[in-house]
Amino acid sequence: RMSRHAKKLRDHDINPCLAETDATTKCMNDNNYNKDLCTDYFLKYKNCRKFWHEIMMQRKRSGVKPEMPSAEERRNILESMG
């Protein structure tokens, strides 16, 4: 059974980088935990976290709630950026 914290991390509305997390984990599993072979995945994850953190901080400063956009809202934001 998953802990409440683990469930939150698996929730698309809470974790904007779920796909990147899963891809990184799969790469690590597939490559016997050799980090050097998964550098691109780590970079994509780091960039994802940085991007959504900046969005979250902008929303917080502007008083927008919730601070993290929902999965649907994030999809619209990304589509509008091309």
Predicted confidence (pLDDT) per residue in 31-55, tens digit: 999 999 999 999 999 999 999 999 9
Burial of 54 (0-12, 13-18, 19+ CB in 10 A): exposed
DSSP 3-state assignment of 31? Answer: coil
Predicted confidence (pLDDT) per residue in 56-75, tens digit: 999 999 999 999 999 999 99
CB distance 28 to 80 below 8 Å: no
Total length of the chain: 82
Show the domain range for 35. Answer: 4-81
More confident call, 6 vs 16: 16
- Name the band, by pLDDT with cuts 50, 70 and 90, for residue 11: confident
Percentage of residues in the chain having pLDDT higher than 90: 80
The tally of domains found in the chain comes to: 1
